[in-house]
Chains A and B, each alone.
Chain A
Amino acid sequence: MSPDSRFPEAPAPPANPERTGEADTPRAFPSTGTAGENPPAVPVQDLKKKTRQKPTPFRRMRAAVRLHPDFRVIVDESRCTLCRFCVLQCSWDALDFDGRVVSYDENCVGCWRCFAVCPTYAIRIEPWPTMYRENASWTRFHATNVRKQAATGGKLLTGMGNDKPYPVYFDHLLIDACQVTNPSIDPLREPMELRTYIGTRPDRLDLERYRIEVLERKPAARGERGNGDLRRKMGFGPLLKLETPIMFAGMSYGAISLNVQKAIARAAQEMGTLWNTGEGGMHPDLYPYASSAVVQCASGRFGVDVAYLSRAAAIEIKIGQGAKPGIGGHLPGEKVTAEIARTRMIPTGTDALSPAPHHDIYSIEDLRQLIFALKEATRYEKPVFVKIAAVHNVAAIASGIVRAGADAVVIDGFRGSTGAAPTMIRDHVGIPIELAIAAVDDRLRKEGIRHRASLIASGTIRSSMDVVKAIALGADAVAIGTAALVALGCTLCQQCHRGRCAWGLTTQIPELVRRVDPDEGAELLKNLLSAWSGEIKETLGLLGLNALESLRSNRERLRAVGLEQAALDILGVKPAGR
């Protein structure tokens, strides 16, 4: 197989005259982006040119802020066929060809793309071997950050979710099973129902009202607007059907590529669940999937107009995000291509700034106004979700949101991912999703308003068992973002904010974007949802349940290992053995 047939779009390997004789020049910095200096967008033709930052002005102090690389790329020359796939595929300038494959290790982000495309397994990536003087308090992470910031004066930026070793409560919860006194159910032989409805419903079925309405309904009026009127009079909001309780989390066109959005949208539609536009508007190519879309209305209001709202399944007011609660967003102008500009309804090349708060929402009554403005605009036919980050007072906030008229509350835990966030905020702000689900479910029940809104949880749902545990703690459904990207190749290198994703996920560079095929991607995502759904059914069966609604908030079927009493109380779960 020739490189051309396998990666036809990849540009030719660059000639690098300027590299010669430069080998011992210290390359001071891996080009980690900073908030002060956004990573430059790389024009297509320049992709393989070196895009190093300018040398720091403190020349004599360069050694003080020099970092050693995180990884090194080792090419086994006895296996290498000199095919140069790896060089063509590396979007980080970490590999070059000079009669043999040479590596610029300080640029390597450990994304495995080279390793994954090497036909002969000639490449391996190792941690950089120089030891760091061990220090339990001054870890390498902290010391490195200090050096970076001393060199640049910028905020530290990163992508993906919190990678610090905070307790993951999901991993401390175990699931019950039937033995003797009740039979488990075989999902291969018996019906097993995962169907979930998202939205507002009344707390009781008013049968008298129903009879009156049905009897009085004139045949002509029937069917015109379906049963919407009847349902509304019975106290129902519009309900959305999910065939599996796993939705896709909001990821905007801009944060991810259009091809990735297409793959996700198609998978969602074919699996009977919902995808989410994020705050980037909806590209016309996605209109066929609009009936399965949750469209975001965030603080920048990008791409929002009545058509956008009306073609969707639901509208989501995004207040916050688990990875960066209380922080806005910034898509630099370099990334605002003509297509993105059209989709976001802003001029090409201008910065797309999402303010930290919505400037028309400074209080809960303002939120209520926006919820009802959106409902008015869509004739009360679309449920309105409100998405918030899990923060300390999440239960009271969620209660306010439900009382303000939201049909669903989306809660994003502090381990949730992002396309770009300040590292310090990603790693230190918010609370774990497990505790947030339990606290919110408890509060809404205590106030007798749990039926008025569905609860959707996100922020590190890593497996079907996280889904089961989230639902047993009280969520109606979950949303996955990182899991979907991993299914499409993401290796969690945390460089999303740099816009050069070698896997073609979080980038707008056409050569890289083309690495994701929307059709094949949709198949991978459908496989993932099917596999997880199968495992959830299996779990319901061993719990002796045959409908997902009987798992919801069924905390008695969970037990905890290794949690302190306070966590047990908040989660409403007994310790294992009791």
Chain B
Amino acid sequence: MYGATGSEGFSEERIPGGCAIFGVMEERGRRFSGSLAAEAIAAMRERSNGLGGGFAGYGIYPDFPHAYALHVMSLSHGAHEDLVRGIKGSFRVLHEEPIPVRHHPAIRDAPVLWRYFVLPPGEGEEDEEEYVARRVVELNSRVEGSLIFSSGPNMGVFKGVGYPEDIAEFYRLDEYRGYLWTAHGRFPTNTPGWWGGAHPFGFLYWSVVHNGEISSFDTNRRYLETFGYRCFQMTDTEVVVYLFDLLHRRHGLPLEIISGILAPPFWSEIEAMEEEERELWMMARQVYGPALLNGPFSVIVGHPRFMVGLADRIMLRPLVAARKGEMVYISSEEAAIRAVEPAPELVWTPEGGEPVVAELLPQAEEEEAVA
């Protein structure tokens, strides 16, 4: 069973809201500082209201490239100790430390923040990812007042209550280097004030930043439950990440099919396709109808090998993409891209349902190995 937790401070209510999203990836896997993402998202301050901001970086822990990096927040030291006992009971801990932060006047009431680099205890019969996913979910639902908010290898989520650029300062993102960064500025329409509710939403090696509201939320949630996913946080973002996990990791579908499931072509468009293509899309929609994400959204999904930007099929939320060399940018607004890359080679607005995909080039891994 998958799913994040109903930890203390979580609301069972859904919190709709608007947001700013930004993502950047270097397709050869070359790393750059997290402050680039912070600078870009700061250009869209107007789109957030100081009630949530966050970042996800990939390739940031070269010292522990294969260990699962658990980022943990706890409301109290007691709750933290409870969680640590759980972590140590479930994993081999290679390294542990507080997440380094710097004092920032705008960031207050920070929870206890630690990180653990862990591996599954031994050669289990289950595959590693499945084991980590299940244990993280189990710990999150069992331990009150604590949350594992990031659990992928060589990646990490940094988030909290505040404007995103202040959150970046607080977490000292300028000191991290990664090849893929996503960023989020939040405009929730009410104020839970819970750090765990900020974006990105992390699950295994997935991270999702999301702008919008999934009007089909309960359809998607109930569909995911049939595959063992439990949506406790009741946020739209949660269903997006689980749908990606289901379709990509478990069903092994390629990204263009996944995009065409989450934001599918209309039946009339499918019927106008060539025979073989038509049959495939027809079957995809017939099987995955309940996975259709309906309502206004644009999302950027991070994965160690790729970044995908996607907007709903009638483009009710903004999404713009740009490229310069191997740098690919996806953003709510072009202004944010221009703020960090004044002269992109190509800027385009994808159509609704048309994915923007940046993928690690085949040679990138070799380069990484050499480095």
Q: Which A residues have a C-beta under 8 Å from some C-beta of B?
A: 178, 180-183, 185, 190-191, 193, 195, 197, 201-205, 207-208, 210, 214, 227, 230-231, 234, 236, 239, 445, 448, 450-451, 543-547, 549-557
* Measured CA separation A231–B284 after assembly (Å): 12
Q: How far is the CB of B267 from chain A (nearest CB, A)?
A: 5
Q: How far is the CB of B137 from chain A (nearest CB, A)?
A: 18
User: In the bound complex, do residue A549 and residue B219 qualify as a contact, i.e. CB atoms below 8 Å apart?
Assistant: yes
Given contacts A181-B213, A210-B280, A546-B314, contact A205 B219 (CB under 8 A): no
* Measured CA separation A231–B279 after assembly (Å): 9
Interface centre among B189, B313, B316 (most CB of A within 10 A): B316
Whether a CB of chain A sits under 8 angstroms from the CB of B369 is no
A201 interface neighbour in B17, B264, B286, B316, Cβ under 8 Å: B286
Q: Is the interface of A mostly helix, strand, loop or mixed?
A: loop
Whether a CB of chain A sits under 8 angstroms from the CB of B276 is yes
Contact mask for chain B residues 274-288; partner A; CB cutoff 8 A; 1 contact, 0 none: 001001100110111
User: In the bound complex, do residue B267 and residue A195 qualify as a contact, i.e. CB atoms below 8 Å apart?
Assistant: yes
User: Which residues from chain A contact B217 at a C-beta distance below 8 Å?
Assistant: 554, 556
User: In the bound complex, do residue A214 and residue B290 qualify as a contact, i.e. CB atoms below 8 Å apart?
Assistant: no
User: In the bound complex, do residue A205 and residue B290 qualify as a contact, i.e. CB atoms below 8 Å apart?
Assistant: no
User: In the bound complex, do residue B219 and residue A552 qualify as a contact, i.e. CB atoms below 8 Å apart?
Assistant: yes
A182 interface neighbour in B16, B251, B264, B284, Cβ under 8 Å: B16
Given contacts A205-B287, A445-B225, 10 further A-B contacts (CB under 8 A): A181-B213, A182-B215, A205-B257, A210-B280, A231-B283, A234-B283, A546-B313, A549-B292, A556-B14, A556-B221
User: In the bound complex, do residue B283 and residue A204 qualify as a contact, i.e. CB atoms below 8 Å apart?
Assistant: no
Q: How far is the CB of B299 from chain A (nearest CB, A)?
A: 15
**A-B pairs with beta carbons under 8 Å apart, 28 shown:** A181-B213, A182-B16, A193-B267, A195-B267, A201-B287, A203-B226, A203-B227, A203-B287, A204-B250, A204-B251, A205-B253, A205-B288, A448-B226, A450-B226, A544-B215, A545-B294, A549-B219, A549-B289, A549-B290, A550-B292, A552-B289, A553-B218, A553-B219, A553-B290, A554-B216, A554-B217, A556-B221, A557-B215
Q: How far is the CB of B260 from chain A (nearest CB, A)?
A: 11
Given contacts A445-B225, A547-B292, contact A182 B287 (CB under 8 A): no
Given contacts A183-B296, A193-B267, A544-B294, contact A550 B215 (CB under 8 A): yes
User: Which residues from chain A contact B253 at a C-beta distance below 8 Å?
Assistant: 205, 207
- List residues of B (215-261) whose CB comes within 8 Å of A's CBs: 215-219, 221-223, 225-227, 250-254, 257
* Measured CA separation A456–B266 after assembly (Å): 24
Q: How far is the CB of A242 from chain B (nearest CB, A)?
A: 12
User: Which residues from chain A contact B219 at a C-beta distance below 8 Å?
Assistant: 549-554
User: In the bound complex, do residue A181 and residue B286 qualify as a contact, i.e. CB atoms below 8 Å apart?
Assistant: no
A-B contact count (CB 8 A): 114
User: In the bound complex, do residue A191 and residue B294 qualify as a contact, i.e. CB atoms below 8 Å apart?
Assistant: no
* Measured CA separation A337–B267 after assembly (Å): 46
B212 interface neighbour in A182, A202, A203, A547, Cβ under 8 Å: A182
User: In the bound complex, do residue A182 and residue B295 qualify as a contact, i.e. CB atoms below 8 Å apart?
Assistant: yes
* Measured CA separation A239–B289 after assembly (Å): 14
User: Which residues from chain B contact A203 at a C-beta distance below 8 Å?
Assistant: 226-227, 287
* Measured CA separation A450–B17 after assembly (Å): 32
Whether a CB of chain A sits under 8 angstroms from the CB of B52 is no
* Measured CA separation A549–B216 after assembly (Å): 9
- List residues of B (283-309) whose CB comes within 8 Å of A's CBs: 283-284, 286-290, 292, 294-296
Q: How far is the CB of B211 from chain A (nearest CB, A)?
A: 11
User: Which residues from chain B contact A557 at a C-beta distance below 8 Å?
Assistant: 215, 218
Whether a CB of chain A sits under 8 angstroms from the CB of B18 is yes
Given contacts A182-B295, A185-B314, A207-B252, contact A236 B286 (CB under 8 A): yes
User: Which residues from chain B contact A207 at a C-beta distance below 8 Å?
Assistant: 252-254, 257
* Measured CA separation A207–B279 after assembly (Å): 12
* Measured CA separation A546–B223 after assembly (Å): 18
User: In the bound complex, do residue B316 and residue A230 qualify as a contact, i.e. CB atoms below 8 Å apart?
Assistant: no
Whether a CB of chain A sits under 8 angstroms from the CB of B191 is no
User: In the bound complex, do residue A205 and residue B314 qualify as a contact, i.e. CB atoms below 8 Å apart?
Assistant: no
Q: How far is the CB of B50 from chain A (nearest CB, A)?
A: 18
B189 interface neighbour in A181, A231, A555, Cβ under 8 Å: A181
Q: How far is the CB of B371 from chain A (nearest CB, A)?
A: 34
* Measured CA separation A121–B109 after assembly (Å): 78
User: In the bound complex, do residue B215 and residue A191 qualify as a contact, i.e. CB atoms below 8 Å apart?
Assistant: no
Give A549's nearest chain B residue, CB to CB.
Answer: B289
Given contacts A181-B16, A207-B257, A550-B292, contact A236 B216 (CB under 8 A): no
* Measured CA separation A182–B17 after assembly (Å): 9
User: Which residues from chain B contact A178 at a C-beta distance below 8 Å?
Assistant: 215
Give B268's nearest chain A residue, CB to CB.
Answer: A191
User: Which residues from chain A contact B283 at a C-beta distance below 8 Å?
Assistant: 205, 210, 231, 234, 236
* Measured CA separation A205–B282 after assembly (Å): 11
* Measured CA separation A92–B253 after assembly (Å): 66
* Measured CA separation A60–B3 after assembly (Å): 78
Contact mask for chain B residues 199-220; partner A; CB cutoff 8 A; 1 contact, 0 none: 0000000000000110111110
A193 interface neighbour in B218, B251, B266, Cβ under 8 Å: B266
User: In the bound complex, do residue B279 and residue A554 qualify as a contact, i.e. CB atoms below 8 Å apart?
Assistant: no
* Measured CA separation A552–B279 after assembly (Å): 23
* Measured CA separation A83–B217 after assembly (Å): 62
Q: How far is the CB of A179 from chain B (nearest CB, A)?
A: 10
User: Which residues from chain B contact A451 at a C-beta distance below 8 Å?
Assistant: 226, 287
User: In the bound complex, do residue A190 and residue B287 qualify as a contact, i.e. CB atoms below 8 Å apart?
Assistant: no
* Measured CA separation A554–B288 after assembly (Å): 15
